[in-house]
Each structure stands twice: as C-alpha cells, then as structure tokens.
C-alpha cells in the first residue's frame, strides 16, 4: 500500500514524514548514522568534527541491533531524550525514529519550535523532520514518547539516524514560505 508524504506548516517550520521529500528541500544534509561504534558507547563529542555535540546526560548510548535499526544496524538508545547542539545555525533536522517523538528547536535559549512527530505502525521506524522557512536553530532536543508537562514520564527512545542541514535547497525557502502563507486562513477586511 502506497502512503503519500505529508507536509504541514507550523509558523516558520514545515514538518515532513518522508525522507525523500525532506531531502528535496535539504539536499546538502549531514547524516549521523551511529555506525562504527561498539555497543553501549556513550555519545557526547564523537561527532564534533561534523559540528554537533550531544550535551544531555540521558544515556545516549549506541545499540547495535540489525533487527531493530533496519537502516544500518546501529542506532541511538536512551531512557528519554537526546540533545544536539550545533556549532552553526541550522534550518533542517530529521530523524528516523522507532518511537513517537517530540522535537524542540532552540536558538540560544529561545524555544523556536515544538511539535510532536508521530511514528506510524511501521516496524523499523519512520522518518520525521522539520525545515525552517525563516528562523534558524542551534539546538534540538528530541524526546521519545513522553508527557511534556509534570509529572514528566518518558518511555524511552530509539533513533536509527539523524540528519541536519544549514540551508535548504535553492528556491525551497520561497516555495515553503508560499505554502505556509497559502495554508493560513484569509483575513477579512472590515
């Protein structure tokens, strides 16, 4: 059964549930595939050469399990969340997630995006991503299935890969901006 890609505008951000659709507007992305590490490696600064640090202490460990991480056999496991800090402003972020996730994007200490990205029932996970049409961000905090308000509860997280990009494809910002404007309700003059 074929499933159509979905894009939804949220202010300056557009969400995607298709990796190929996301890559059309962020073709120069960098991927973190978590391969090449031994099982149970704690991830912190191993991707610093790519401009990203994992800065939370929520057990971001490598899990090597080809039956779980179908893209490449390795993924990131944690008890609740992962926080990625980028060394330059980003416009796009995506994840192949095996569980539902919530994404918060920040510029400095300011929250610029928050949204739940829902994984369907596909074994092996699904892609979910965001692309900004204006606001940049330098930090992303992704949560597994969780309640975002007290009492906080998190059911764990599994991510096969992360992707990020500084600049969407030429013309993509204009197309995304037009799409987000067209998706807004019209105002009536009085």
6-10, 20-24, 120-124, 134-138: least confidently modelled range: 6-10
Residues 119 and 127 sit within 8 Å (Cβ to Cβ): no
The pLDDT of residue 25 is 92
Give the whole-number percent of the chain exceeding pLDDT 90. 37
Interatomic CA distance for residues 181 and 12, integer angstroms: 10
The three-class DSSP label of residue 122 is coil
How many CB atoms lie under 10 A from the CB of residue 164? Answer: 23
* Range 2-20 average pLDDT: 69
Place of tokens 């739940």: 116
pLDDT of residue 184: 43
pLDDT attached to residue 153: 61
pTM: 0.80
Residue 29 has pLDDT above 80, yes or no: yes
Nearest alpha-carbon partner for 34 in 54, 19, 14: 54
How confident is the model over 29-42, as a mean pLDDT? 92
72 half-sphere exposure, CB direction, 13 A CA radius: 16
Pick from 117, 160, 120, 114: nearest CA to 140: 114
Per-residue model confidence as pLDDT tens digits over 38-96: 998 999 999 999 999 998 766 678 888 876 788 888 888 887 788 999 999 999 999 98
Supply φ then ψ for residue 48, to 5 degrees: -60, -35
Q: 108-139 pLDDT, tens per residue? A: 999 999 987 665 545 567 888 999 988 899 99
Q: What pLDDT, on a 0 to 100 scale, did the predictor assign at position 168?
A: 61
């Amino acid at each position: 059964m074929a499933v159509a890609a979905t894009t939804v505008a949220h202010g300056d951000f557009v969400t995607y549930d298709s990796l190929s659709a996301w890559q059309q507007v962020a073709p120069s992305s960098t991927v973190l595939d978590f391969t090449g590490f031994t099982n149970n490696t704690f991830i912190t600064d191993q991707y610093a050469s790519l401009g990203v640090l994992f800065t939370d202490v929520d057990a971001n460990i490598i899990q090597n399990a080809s039956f779980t991480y179908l893209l490449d056999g390795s993924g990131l496991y944690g008890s609740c969340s992962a926080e990625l800090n980028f060394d330059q402003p980003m416009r796009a972020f995506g994840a192949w997630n095996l569980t539902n996730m919530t994404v918060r994007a920040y510029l400095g200490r300011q929250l610029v995006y928050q949204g739940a990205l829902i994984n369907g029932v596909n074994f092996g996970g699904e892609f979910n991503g965001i692309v900004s049409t204006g606001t940049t961000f330098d930090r992303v905090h992704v949560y597994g299935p969780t309640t975002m308000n007290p009492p906080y509860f998190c059911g764990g997280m599994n991510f096969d890969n992360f992707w990020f990009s500084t600049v969407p494809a030429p013309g993509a910002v204009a197309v995304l901006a037009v799409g987000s404007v067209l998706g807004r309700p019209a105002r009536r003059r009085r």
